[in-house]
Chain A
Amino acid sequence: MRALTRHRKLSAIWASEEGFKGWFSTVNHNDLGRMFLMTAFLFFLVGGLLAMLIRAQLATPHSAFAGPDIYNQIFTMHGTIMMFLFAIPTFEGLAIYLLPKMLGTRDLAFPRLTAYGYWCYVFGGAMLLVSMLLGIAPDGGWFMYPPLTGALYSKGINTDFWLIGITFVEISAIAAAVEITVSILKFRAPGMTLARMPIFGWYALITSLMILTGFPPLILGSILLEVERAFGFPFFQAELGGDSLLWQHLFWLFGHPEVYIIFLPAAGVVSTILPVMCRTSLLGYGWIVASMVALAFLSFGLWVHHMFATGIPHMGLAFFSAASTLVAIPTSVQVFAWIGTMWKGRPELHLPMLHIIGFFVTFIIGGLTGVMVAVVPFDWQAHDTAFVTAHLHYVLFGGFVFPMLAGIYYWLPHVSGRKRFFHLGELGFWLIFIGFHVTFLAMHWVGLLGQRRRISTYAPEDGWTQINLISSVGSFVLAIGIAIVMLDIILHALAQRKTRRNPWRAGTLEWAMLLPPPAYNFASLPEVTGRAPLGDDPKLANALARGEGYLGTPRNGWRETLMVDVASGRPEVLVLFPTNTQLPIAMSAVTGLFFLSLLIKVYWVTPLALAGVAALAWRWIWQGGRKNDLAPQTVRPGCDLPHSTAVDRAPGWWGSLFLLIANGTFLGSLLFGFAFLWTIAPGWPPPAWVDASAIEVGAGLLAAGTSATAIRAATRANDAGRPVLPALSIALTATLAMTFCCAALLWRTPAPTEHAYGATLFVLGSYGLFHTLLAVLMVVHLITRVLLGYTSVARRAEFPIIRLWLDYIAMIVALILLIGHMAGWFA
């Protein structure tokens, strides 16, 4: 087959629908990555506009521009948009667009999930925008501390927009994180061992794992606060056994890792671009991986440093102060690796390199002020002043925006296939750089002079007037810089100069393809033998286009790719991807309906929406099956691989595993909250304890054990070709029994509105009930699949997936019943 014929055939198979209809049905990472990035950039503009409003307001004392109410909305929305709707989605978009290309594969592990996540992000973000347009935007600051955000002090719907909208958006973060993790571990080019992975893959892997464990506490916190506001469960009310500090713990358990979730991908971009700009290879690959792992874990042990001023015992402060200073070490390893790389090579001052230098300067200053506020006595002075806002912008803008600008200019030719023509970007850089430092150096200074953050105005006698004016002028210079960059990019998109294939002479695989990239990425998948495949073999792209790699022959209209062994990259499984579908957007619309019904309190819609989500999810899973065995297929002469329905570890198994890790973290946070309230909160013991029942605990434990055993028996029976329905019916009975026990626990729970004890127990029981219902649905699904002939001795992949879920559910049900009833016995 000629290269051109192959290209045409593959394009026909992988293409999205024509025109704008294609946006709604595409599941391709090329499209979705770009859509993510564009949307995130739009939100950056909105957030930037709000920043300009803030600076306009603060430019002069007694400014009449916005009153305190509106100002509260402005800075809250600025922070919220930048963190949740710009920074995280930018990482997601970048990873979605780049990873399959860098890893040498054709798409991400779960294409429909990519689309679902994208639409959840769009709909959730739109909710927040609408609230802003209506003038009822959240106004409690981006970290939404109760009691300020409780029902008593925040009566309107403003706070609900935040709690519900952000939770909706978090779904997309979790979806993307599952997707990225599985893709990096299992969807790489053959031969790409862990050690040969492009460094960006490591950063993205670590970031995704952090999202999976960092976001659940926030999701939990948001749910609890929303339930408190809507139904009066007193989780955060001290009079009724709650504690507003619980929110701070949950929020910062998420919030500090969040800072690194934002920084790590940016560092990944720097580590990718820097060696190319310096015409060398990255120094200390292994050291960098190790220190990023260290940084990720350390960042989970720092959350209390945001609570230094809340009256925590001395030793507690000392723990977190010590741990906070510790992060300087892996960060320094990272910075020295970059300096060493520059030293080793010959830096060329292209535009991306300018932004990287801007990043260095800014980020290092931000790191140093960070060490300053990690010191408790200093923090007590600087807490809640403009010094802190200035510090966080040095880290966030310096550590994220500059690297992203570098990334934009570096990958622009990749996305567009064009060459930059007008050189406005350099001017843009200098304006941004100078504007940024003027703005925020001034804010450090005025913060030390005592200007608090989040104040809408100040008096001339405060002596902050000139500095604020300087800062505001700086911010407008910065804004002009951003506008010029935008103009530069628009002109770039209009200019008609095609770029060379690998314009930066980079070594990573994303440059071994046509530019702009075709929907299928690689005409055939490479066999990787080193860390810089393209550097080792500059002719690689041509060889792949000639079909010399894996899967070089398009067949049966299949969207094919390979799954490999985690460590060695040995090809293991043939995966056939789903094609274009509107199912993801439909499902996220119904998910949105669920959130909307909660927001506007039309509760009769809520169960309908949930049922809708369940029905669509059922359909989603249903589409993946086959009614006949598919013999192992040749993926390259001499290499035959089984199809993913005929293995024990299908993509769905891996996805479930990581979803369950996030889920387990959610439950862990809930248990933490329970223990925290119990021991720390005032107002305990509660007026009434649960009326414990040994019979129900016993029955629940028995059912849990039975469900785990029965699903194992069913798996074994299927493998041996025996009938599986007997074992599955036992599993079904057991899951029903577990459902009953969880419902009974809810029944026994003392009134949840009366005391935080009952409230927490109610949530715990509901969590159990939700999962047992899920278990019932899953077993019913499996039974239907068996009855309709979707399984066979070979097509066994669904059994281990259901088994994984049932194991998890059995475990948590046992735990919940024990903890729930035990409280009653102890009391």
Chain B
Amino acid sequence: MTDLLRILIAPLVWLAAFISVYALHGLLCALQMHGMVLGIPLERLSLVTAYGLAILMQIVLLLAVYRGWPLAPSSEFVRFVSRVTGWTGLMATIWSLLPVMMTTSC
């Protein structure tokens, strides 16, 4: 089971982060939170922070997968597949949440 988890974890966390950021965005739009912090609109700031956190989490996961933490994978095959899915999680996070940097929010 830990092997299976190792394979699934990075995309799973991507999914959770993706949906959370989407929900956060929906929430910000619904509550109409306006205001500025450090000269940046509040909405943008919170979305970008969430984006950064999501990427950070993926990087940590990728490191964990490469280090074989907390348990070493049971086989070369599992090691390989979990590395590929680890990269998938990171790339998917960067690409799919990129709109927080580019488009207007509501």
Contacts and interface: CB of A to CB of B under 8 A. Distances in A.
A539 interface: no
A315 B30 CA distance: 13
Contact of A315 (B74, B84, B103): B103
Interface stretch (B34-42, B54-62, B88-96): B88-96
Contact of A567 (B8, B75, B85): B75
B99 A567 contact: no
Contacts of B26: 313, 316, 679-680
A293 interface: yes
Interface residues of B, number: 44
Nearest to A322: B96
Interface string B2-20: 1110011001101100110
A297 interface: yes
Contacts of A567: 2-3, 74-75, 78
A568 B30 CA distance: 50
A448 interface: no
Interface stretch (A67-75, A283-291, A735-743, A771-779): A283-291
A143 interface: no
B96 A319 contact: yes
Contacts of A291: 84, 88
A455 interface: no
Interface residues of A, number: 33
A639 interface: no
Judged by DSSP, the binding face of B is helix
B44 to A, nearest CB: 10
A410 interface: no
A298 B22 CA distance: 14
Contact of B23 (A185, A195, A289, A675): A675
A301 interface: yes
A238 interface: no
Contacts of A185: 1, 4
B27 interface: yes
A322 B3 CA distance: 30
B79 to A, nearest CB: 10
A297 B106 contact: no
Contact of A286 (B14, B23, B81, B104): B81
B71 to A, nearest CB: 11
A194 interface: yes
Interface centre among A287, A304, A314 (most CB of B within 10 A): A314
B85 A313 contact: no
B88 A290 contact: yes
B3 A194 contact: yes
A301 B18 contact: yes
B22 A314 contact: no
B7 A293 contact: yes
A294 interface: yes
B30 A680 contact: yes
A316 B92 contact: no
Contacts of A763: none
Given A319-B99, A322-B99, A566-B3, A286 B27 contact: no
A323 B81 contact: no
Nearest to A206: B8
Nearest to B96: A323
Given A195-B77, A322-B98, A566-B1, A290 B85 contact: yes
The 4 closest A-B pairs by CB, nearest first: A195-B77, A318-B99, A297-B11, A290-B84
9 contacts: A194-B78, A286-B84, A290-B81, A293-B11, A294-B92, A315-B99, A315-B106, A318-B102, A322-B97
Given A193-B74, A293-B85, A679-B30, 11 more contacts: A194-B78, A290-B88, A293-B81, A297-B15, A301-B15, A313-B25, A313-B105, A323-B95, A326-B96, A567-B2, A680-B30
